[in-house]
């Protein structure tokens, strides 16, 4: 696979799978406002995924459009990091993952936006997406602080989410290592305000990897089965 | 005989905010006719805006009715849509429909993290005693607010 296509698919699949996990909250959140917020954020990410998948398909030049790429690839062809495919968990897991992921997207899109001379099409998508990611990051920040610095129970759950998700954040920086410093500064500031701590960076700790080369957790297949089954049962179905 | 392509496309209303047109919202970037072919360029407000499909269909229908047999609708992402493109007429119509129009968009580079934009005035009574209920509203581009003076809830097009 062309290196650029693989890179674009990584960005697109991160957004697509994160969107799918968030959309699982539609009609399930604890109040109407939060339900609408999570669905809105899922919709933004879906829009970003569609632009990126379309661009990846054009670059590939094999006639695959956004639907072919979203619905007709198998698990090993998806290039998203494992962080976004993990089950949605409780609300703390959803919030903390949104914090980690949107802080990463913010740094990434800021850099891609600045590289408009080299990749104008991608820079345009990044510039557009960045305005939306600012809202996602803001939403995740407010909730992380509210949960972490809230009741004993909300603190316990938020801390557990940080501890469980942290190992998966390393994969974000395997190809974007230069972004981790800025990401850490952003995330650590929020965690400190939320009275939460993060695991140390010891190299011998659990550091799952493989998403970018198509190796996924056991949860990915179930997610794809739900996401893809309608299109595969009714090929070419459109709204 | 074909009508002016830009004027025809400009009159199409937004499916989610039907009080304003796509030209007043800044979604319509360009439209011109060449014989019986019309070429239109639009830009989405938010990247996931679910109204884009309907807007494309509405533009095509309007232009066909105006005599264009071929309608080519292109989508452009750069420069990214901003609420600063909403026209003064569009802002007046939003306010008249009970939707507070946006203030100036965060200038230059996106402010990260988001800093609180100045609150809108209540579109019903003009009060500035308002509170944000939710930053995410019934459409991607609006937030939900409540007025402490007239006690009515209202939508606000977020500065973007």
Query: What would the two tokens of residue A54 be?
Result: 């379309």
Query: What would the two tokens of residue A1 be?
Result: 């696979």
The residue among A101, A109, A96 whose CA lies nearest residue A51 is A109
Q: How far apart are CA A163 and CA A209, in angstroms?
A: 17
pLDDT of residue B1: 64
Is A26 domain-assigned? Answer: yes
The verdict on A15 touching B (C-beta cutoff 8 Å) is no
> Residue A206 contacts by C-beta under 8 Å, 6 or more apart in sequence?
A167
The residue among A177, A227, A179 whose CA lies nearest residue A72 is A227
State whether A134 and B80 contact (CB < 8 Å).
Answer: no
Give the pLDDT confidence of B14-27 residue by residue, as tens digits.
Answer: 999 999 999 999 99
Is A221 domain-assigned? Answer: yes
Q: Fill in the DSSP letter of residue A211.
A: G
Is A98 domain-assigned? Answer: yes
Give the pLDDT confidence of B39-87 residue by residue, as tens digits.
Answer: 999 999 999 888 999 999 999 999 999 999 999 999 999 999 999 999 9
Residue B114: pLDDT over 60: no
Mean pLDDT value across chain B: 91
Residue B109: pLDDT over 90: no
Is A238 domain-assigned? Answer: no
pLDDT of residue B49: 87
Residue B108: pLDDT over 80: no
The number of folded domains in chain A is 1
Q: How far apart are CA B5 and CA A65, in angstroms?
A: 29
Q: The domain spanning residue A26 has which CATH number?
A: 1.20.1260.10
Q: How confident is chain A (239 residues) per 10-residue block, as mean pLDDT?
A: 88 98 96 94 97 97 96 98 98 98 97 91 95 93 97 98 97 95 96 97 90 98 97 87
Is A62 domain-assigned? Answer: yes
The interface pTM score, or ipTM, of the predicted complex is: 0.88
Nearest CA to CA, how far is B6 from chain A (Å)? 25
Is A239 domain-assigned? Answer: no
* pTM for the predicted model, two decimal places: 0.94
Question: Which phi and psi angles does A179 have, rounded to 5°?
Answer: -90, -10
Q: Which chain A residues are Cβ-neighbours of B78 within 8 angstroms?
A: 120, 123-124, 127-128
State whether B46 and A127 contact (CB < 8 Å).
Answer: no
Interface of B with A (CB under 8 A): 44, 46-50, 53, 77-81, 109-114, 133-138, 140, 144, 160
Q: Say which residue, B101 or B112, is predicted with more confidence.
A: B101
Nearest CA to CA, how far is A44 from chain B (Å)? 5
> Residue A73 contacts by C-beta under 8 Å, 6 or more apart in sequence?
none
Q: What's B5-75's CATH class?
A: alpha beta
- Range of the structural domain that residue A136 is part of: 3-233
pLDDT of residue A184: 97
pLDDT of residue A190: 97
- Closest by Cβ to A129, choosing from B47, B112, B144: B47
* Helix, strand, coil percentages for chain B (3-state, nearest 5): 20, 25, 55
CB contact at 8 A, B105 and B83: yes
The full set of domain ranges for chain B reads 5-75, 96-157
């Amino acid at each position: 696979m062309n290196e650029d296509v693989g890179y674009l698919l990584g960005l697109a699949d991160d957004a697509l799978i994160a969107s799918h996990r968030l959309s699982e909250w539609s009609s399930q959140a604890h109040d109407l406002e939060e339900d609408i917020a999570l669905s809105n954020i899922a919709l933004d990410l879906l829009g970003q995924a569609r632009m990126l998948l379309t661009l990846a398909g054009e670059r590939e030049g094999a006639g695959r459009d956004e639907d072919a790429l979203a619905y007709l690839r198998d698990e090993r062809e998806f290039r998203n990091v494992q962080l976004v495919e993990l089950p949605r968990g409780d609300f703390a897991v959803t919030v903390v993952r949104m914090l980690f992921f949107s802080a990463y997207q913010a740094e990434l899109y800021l850099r891609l936006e600045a590289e408009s001379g080299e990749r104008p099409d991608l820079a345009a998508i990044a510039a557009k997406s960045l305005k939306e990611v600012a809202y996602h990051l803001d939403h995740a920040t407010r909730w992380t602080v509210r949960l972490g610095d809230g009741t004993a129970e909300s603190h316990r759950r938020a801390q557990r989410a940080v501890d469980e998700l942290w190992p998966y954040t390393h994969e974000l920086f395997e190809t974007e290592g230069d972004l981790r410093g800025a990401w850490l500064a952003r995330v650590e500031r929020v965690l400190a305000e939320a009275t939460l701590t993060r695991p140390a960076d010891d190299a011998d700790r659990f550091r799952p990897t493989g998403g970018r080369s198509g190796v996924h957790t056991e949860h990915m297949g179930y997610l794809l089965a739900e996401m893809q089954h309608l299109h595969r049962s009714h090929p070419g179905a459109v709204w | 005989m074909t009508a002016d392509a830009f004027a025809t496309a400009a009159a199409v209303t937004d499916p989610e905010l039907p009080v304003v047109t796509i030209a007043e919202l800044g979604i319509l970037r360009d439209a011109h006719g060449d014989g019986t072919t019309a070429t239109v360029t639009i830009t989405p407000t938010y990247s996931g805006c679910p109204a884009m499909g309907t807007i494309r269909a509405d533009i095509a229908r309007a232009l066909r009715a105006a005599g264009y047999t071929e309608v080519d609708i292109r989508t452009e992402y750069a420069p990214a849509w901003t609420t600063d493109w909403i026209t003064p007429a569009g802002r007046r119509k939003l306010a008249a429909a009970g939707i507070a129009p946006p203030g100036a968009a965060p200038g230059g580079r996106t402010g990260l993290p988001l800093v609180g934009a100045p609150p809108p005035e209540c579109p019903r009574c003009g009060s500035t005693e308002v509170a944000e209920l939710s930053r995410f509203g019934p459409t991607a581009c609006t937030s939900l607010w409540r007025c402490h003076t007239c006690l009515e809830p209202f939508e606000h097009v977020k500065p973007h």
